[in-house]
Amino acid sequence: DLREEGGQRMGGTGSKDDAAIPHVPHALTLKLVGPHHPGRVLFKNSKQLASHQACTLTLANVPGWALVPKSAPKVVKHEGKDYDLLQVGFAQAAEDNAVEAVLDKHGLLTVDDGWCLDVAFWNLEEGTILNLVKDAQRHDPETLYGRRFCVNPDGSVSPLTAPHLFLGAMSRVTLVHQDHPEALVLEHPGSMADGAEAPLTLKSHKGMGVVAAGGPKRV
C-alpha cells in the first residue's frame, strides 16, 4: 500500500525530486484491454478529467485503489534517443498518494512533473503496457497517437485513435511467500477444499478475482 511509503504524491509534489517518488513494485500492471475484460478500470474523477481539469487518478469500480508509480524512474534508449521512463500500475492508495494528472491536446500529463502517459512502442493492441515517460523532444500533438486519450461516458479511458481499447489492470499470478503483502486470499476456500466448484474471487483484493489474461495459445 502506498500509504505505508509516505513521502510525495506523483504529480505536483513529485516534481521536487523524481528519484524520490515513492512506488509500489507489486501494483497491477497498466495495460490496454478489450471492452469486456474484467480488468477495465473506471476513473472516479472522470468528469474532471474530461473537462481538462487536474485530478487524482483514483478508481470508481475498485474503491480505495488508484494509479500509482510501480518503479523508480530509469533512462531507456529507443531509436538512438534517451527517454526517462516510469512504470505505473494500480494498487491500494490514499487519494493523496495517487497520480495526479490533466488531459489536454498533448496527452495525459502529470501535474507539474511533465510525465506523459505513453503506450509502449505506440502498439495499439490489447495487452500492450503503458508507462509514464519524459521526452525532451518537441512533437506535433497530432502525430502522437500513442499518447493521446479520450474519456468515455462510463468513466473509462481509451486511446483517441483506438476507442475499442481501454486502460485496464492486469497482473500474472505468481508464487510468493506466505507473509507477502500481496499474497492472494480466496473468498471461498472452503468450497474448493470440499471439492466443489467456486469462483476465484479474492478476499484479499476486494472486487477482484483470477481470470484468463488472454485466449489459449500453443507454446
Predicted TM-score (pTM) of this structure:
0.77
Q: C-alpha cell of 198?
A: 467456486
Domain co-membership, 110 together with 183 = no
Domain co-membership, 39 together with 145 = yes
Domain co-membership, 183 together with 153 = no
Domain co-membership, 86 together with 116 = yes
What's the pLDDT score for residue 12?
A: 42
Domain co-membership, 58 together with 135 = yes
Domain co-membership, 151 together with 56 = yes
Q: C-alpha cell of 35?
A: 471492452
List the chain pLDDT tens, one digit each, 219 residues: 222 333 445 554 334 455 557 888 889 999 999 999 989 999 999 999 999 999 999 999 999 999 999 999 998 877 777 889 999 999 999 888 899 999 998 899 999 788 999 999 999 999 999 999 997 666 676 788 999 999 999 999 999 999 999 999 987 777 888 887 778 889 988 888 888 888 888 888 777 788 776 667 677
Q: C-alpha cell of 73?
A: 524512474
- Compute the distance between CA of residue 151 and CA of residue 47 in angstroms, rounded to an integer: 8
Residues 6+ apart with CB under 8 A from 43: 49, 57, 58, 59, 60, 151, 155, 156, 157
Domain end among 133, 149, 170: 170
Domain co-membership, 28 together with 77 = yes
Residue range of the domain that includes 203: 174-219
The closest of 72, 96, 104, 98 to 85, measured between CA atoms, is 72
Domain co-membership, 73 together with 91 = yes
Domain co-membership, 194 together with 147 = no
The number of domains in the chain is: 2
- Compute the distance between CA of residue 161 and CA of residue 43 in angstroms, rounded to an integer: 20
What's the pLDDT score for residue 168?
A: 97
Domain co-membership, 10 together with 117 = yes
Domain co-membership, 129 together with 52 = yes
What's the pLDDT score for residue 122?
A: 93
- Compute the distance between CA of residue 206 and CA of residue 92 in angstroms, rounded to an integer: 10
- DSSP-based three-state secondary structure for 31: strand
What's the pLDDT score for residue 212?
A: 72
What's the pLDDT score for residue 85?
A: 94
Domain co-membership, 182 together with 156 = no
SS3 annotation, 54-119: CEECEECCCCCEEEEECCCCEEEEECCEEEEEEEEEEEECCHHHCCEEEEECCEEEECCCCCEEEE
